[in-house]
Structure 1
């Protein structure tokens, strides 16, 4: 009877060792899968952020170009106005300035 109990204990120990080995392997696999999932998620987040950043950059450049175009158009009008000043007006202004300088 003692021999039977000893065999049962040894069998139970062997089964326990096998269960522990299997649990260790499964936990390693879960850890590997989790690590891989974290890497994949991180890469996806980085990719999404790069795409969003690219879109924001393009939008900012487009808005800046629109602002520059508006400013250029305004300045172009100002230059045209300056260039369209009548020669008589320039002479008139020059005479007024001369009179002030002389006085």
Structure 2
């Protein structure tokens, strides 16, 4: 991010739910946070912006670009994986952890 700020205004938004963020009962679909980002960037004074989605943020980035093409300039996604492609792994930090599927 620091390199981007030499020529751009760069802001980062986290996903709802993990870590110390709020844990609302709903809004975990891709469209809800995309709409929230559109409102947030408008409040920051940006009518049009480029968006980069990383990891699970790719879902929000795609929803933002597809649902708000008039706002998203150049969308980019990195490290896309769907939940269906993730296989549970045994973790040495959690002895006895067993996968839920083979």
Specify the TM-score bucket, using the shorter chain as the normaliser: under 0.3
Find the structure with the greater CA-based Rg: 1
Whose strand fraction is larger, Structure 1's or Structure 2's? 2
Query: TM-score, normalised to structure 2's length?
Result: 0.17
Whose helix fraction is larger, Structure 1's or Structure 2's? 1
| Higher relative contact order, structure no. (Cα contacts within 8 Å, ≥ 6 residues apart) | 2
